[in-house]
Amino acid sequence: MKVGDSLNINLLPSQAKFQADKIKLKKTIRRYEMRFLGVWLVFLIATFILFLGSGIILSGSQKKYQQAVNVFESNTEEIVLNQLLKYQAKALGQVLNDRFEYAASFEKVASIFSDKAKVSEFEINDKDKSFTMTVTTADKEGVDYVEDRVDEVNEGKVEGVKKMIITGVSYQVRGEWSINLEVMI
């Protein structure tokens, strides 16, 4: 035996050794219990803080929501009025788009022919929004001009006039040609 080994020799009786091991085991168990309780306590405190924090955030959100509801409720009459005005404006716009523009149609029909042909009679048919007219011209060249103009309209070269039909041609004793037309706008 060496001189330093005598310190490691346990001369206690075996019952005392058992009690010493038991005390060490209790200290170790107590240490682990304290660590477990510490972790558990930290977990409980974190959970409590999260609970309180979420409650504060929730109450703040509820206040903001209530403020938005109050603003909305105070402006409901204005919102309803604005929506009603928008609806009425849209309905009025649709009516204005769908209605027949008589003045513009008269101007369009009157501008179809130049000085070579003169509109002598003019009548509107309200059912299909068409015009019947009588155009007079002094010579055969004027008749040719009217026929060419009818062809241009039917080919789509004249904007705003859909179709034109010659319903009759007659020669007057005075030397005038009279051409009856039906014009669809």
Task: Write the secondary structure of 90-141 as one string of H (helix), E (strand) and C (coil).
Answer: HHHHHHHHHCCCHHHHHHHHHCCCCCCCEEEEEEEECCCCEEEEEEEECCHH
Judgement on whether residues 17 and 90 belong to the same structural domain of the protein:
yes
- What is the value of pTM for the model shown? 0.45
Structural domains of the chain, count: 2
Domain end among 39, 69, 99? 99
Q: Which tens digits make up the pLDDT trace of 11-41?
A: 667 777 778 888 999 999 999 999 999 999 9
Would 7 be classed as within a structural domain? no
Q: Are 117 and 146 in contact (CB under 8 A)?
A: yes
Looking at the fold, whether 27 and 82 belong to one and the same domain comes out as: yes
The answer to whether 132 touches 180, Cβ cutoff 8 Å, is: yes
Question: How far apart (Å, rounded) are the C-alpha atoms in residues 37 and 149?
Answer: 104
Residue 169 lies in a domain: yes
Measure Cα distances from 145 to 57, 73, 149, 178 in Å. 85, 70, 6, 13
pLDDT tens sequence across 51-103: 999 999 999 999 999 998 888 888 878 878 888 888 888 888 887 776 666 66
**Domain residues for 21?**
12-99
